[in-house]
Amino acid sequence: MALVSAVLTAGVEWERLEKNVCLGVEKLHEQPRETFLTPAELANLLAALDDDANRPEADAIRLLAATGCRRTEIFSLTWAQVDLGAGTLRLEAGMTKNGRRRLVLLNDIAKETLERAVGYRRPGSDFVFPADNRQGRVSWAQRSWERAKRRAGIDPKIRLHDLRHSVGSLLGHIYPEAVVAKMLGHLDSRTTRKYTINFNNEQLREAADAVSRRIGEAGAEAAPPAE
């Protein structure tokens, strides 16, 4: 059902259908699928996007990969919400999933992407990623997404939303849960926890070694001095 609804949504956004008939239909519970791209795969993806002919679509995807924002938050972004000098995006309450305003801090990749977007800004439009459709902005980006995946050699099953998971996973290996939650705009800690507990065996081995090392150090400190 989720797949059919997504296809119909695309049809509406591409102006081939009037409405998504799946809206309002009760969906069966589906086990969520979470896929993470590695930092190397993300780097390959960004390189592939740099070669794409549709700059607004490609740059919208780049910004998703750089920030971990949701698709609707980036595709509907306007220049009024961008402050390149301060290095921030201001997401209004009406465009976030939890209905709360959020400030997104921009890293170098995000700033570079937005600086390039200034070059194709359209007179009379405030959308950061303009397009020739009914909405006047990028609304799907599927063609650029599929092209970039092929060029980067990435699993074709990877979805745009998996970029958000990938950013969360990358952050979760470095920063505490509270930081990841703030970066991604999570209110429920259970949503963030799936990233912060996504450790590999090497990291678990390092943690196990740290325990034994600390016990050994404590034992050495407590041992009586040699006579």
Structure confidence at residue 2 (pLDDT): 55
Annotation: CATH topology of 36-156: hpI Integrase; Chain A (1.10.443)
Domain locations in the chain as residue ranges: 36-156
Q: Give pLDDT tens digits for 158-192.
A: 999 999 888 887 776 667 666 666 676 655 555 55
CB 183 within 8 A of CB 54: no
Q: What is the pLDDT along the chain (227 residues), one digit of tens a residue?
A: 555 555 555 555 555 566 665 665 655 554 455 688 888 899 999 999 999 999 999 999 999 998 888 899 999 999 999 999 999 999 887 677 667 788 888 889 999 999 999 999 999 999 999 999 999 999 989 999 999 999 999 999 999 999 988 888 777 666 766 666 667 665 555 555 555 555 555 544 554 556 557 656 755 665 666 65
Q: Give pLDDT tens digits for 124-153.
A: 999 999 999 999 999 989 999 999 999 999
d(Cα 47, Cα 43) in Å, to the nearest integer?
6
CB 52 within 8 A of CB 148: yes
- Residue 48 dihedral angles phi and psi, to the nearest 5°: -65, -40
| Residue 221 token pair | 């400190």
Structure confidence at residue 200 (pLDDT): 52
| Cβ-defined contacts of 12-17 (< 8 Å, 24+) | 13/133, 13/135, 13/139, 13/140, 14/133, 14/140, 15/133, 15/134
